[in-house]
Structure 1
Amino acid sequence: MAAPKEESPVLVAFTLDFETGGLKCQTSACTQIAVHATRLDTFEKIGTYQSYIAPYNRKEIAGATKKRKTLKSKYDNDDAVSMDYEARALEYSAITMDMLESYGKPIEIVAQEVLQFMIDNTPKCPKNMKPFLIGQHIAFDEGFLCQMFEYAGLMNELKKVLRGDEDFYGNWHPLYVDTIVLGQLALCHLPNVNSYKLEIMCENLGIELDDAHDADADVSATTNVAAVLTQRMRSIGGEYEGEELAISKAEKSRKHFKI
């Protein structure tokens, strides 16, 4: 009697985007996060998470920065220093400090919720098939993800969920795929393509640009770019054999994208 055929594990990826108070993950604040969970066999969206992040202060994290030691008396008090919220960055993302104070959650709570979201949307699978990240210029967002999880003291928990490796200095980083690199592989032969911004890649790939004025819109567009390029990779002789991959739809309102 033949053994029953085992089903292949379902691969899942998390598309990630942050809106921030600046460009430096060491000092700039996270202001908004959006994460989509996607099945990679069909590119079906199986879950979404998004949240504003309430204003928060800087926090010294071991190994993050080298700080010169100074002698202090027991009467010295460290004044709280806010993370950077640059006016230009807030204007670009159409996020105000009032919005963050009214609708934002503490960064520690957001980190806990993102972690639980990832756990809830990760099927049982071997370690070499754990989820990874997808994003447009994802190295930028990965830095802010690490800031958030280090700030919340949950980096070791994140390691259990995502694939990743330690760098030369012993710092762990999650595995990610950058849609800019995928777009360059797919589109660099076209004479009219000299930029790989999200809206330009959508135009060249025939993707309707859906825009909802926040990080969630960027995530939807980024996932769609990855889906179309994946479908091209799966084609044989120029023909795709299989069902069409899922493309997300969202309300349009924003006129620009960050990257």
Structure 2
Amino acid sequence: MALLEVENLRAGYGSVPVLHGVDLAVEEGSNAVLLGLNGAGKSTTLMTLAGLLPVTGGEIRYDGEVLKGPPGARVRAGIVLVPEGRHVFPALTVKQNLRLGAWTIRRDARRLRGNLREVYAIFPRLEERADQLAGTLSGGEQQMLAIGRGMMSSPRLLLIDEASLGLSPKLTEQVFAAVKLINQRGTTVLMVEQNAGVLAQADTAFVMQQGRITVSGSGADTLGDEAVKAAYFGT
């Protein structure tokens, strides 16, 4: 069953249209990737799903219902965005950053503690650096913290924007492995990427060009698609 369904979605920035009729569906429990080059509309798609940009046409359905409401309401419904750029609070500790991610469940102490244990199980390095200021972490550690903070509100659908941006190949592999583990633990994931290497672990892949989905299928099939190879590998 599709947890997220997007039909003919149109959105943009003021009078500038970016999405020109996006169609996609993400099955509950799956690990999906939205792949595209810079400027294709990937981040705009996630921001619209998260309620940060208005829908100008089409429809978003979440768990069978038309998705409306402000960003806070969507977080409470289980839709959480990890934005591009590792936006951590540099003057706060790792643990303080994580607790801020649990703002919507802050009154449920038991659930908060359980989520913190889960984040530490996925990212042991964050537990090692729990009392360290976030601004002193490496780029890879900050990305782990940003994803971990997103996990603190118990998301049902985790939207991750450009997790590998600016990371070395080794750190990219570690982050992708952590995202796969998050998915295996029951969270549906839709991850935006320019790095085609993520297709190897994706259940479903969507390739976006100029505000539209041009290719969709399994991650493995998409990785072998000649049009995708031409666009991303120059073959």
Structure-1-length-normalised TM-score: 0.28
Structure-2-length-normalised TM-score: 0.30
Instruction: Judging by fraction of residues, say which structure has more strand.
Output: 2
Comparing both chains, which one has the higher relative contact order based on Cα–Cα distances under 8 Å and sequence gaps of 6 or more?
2
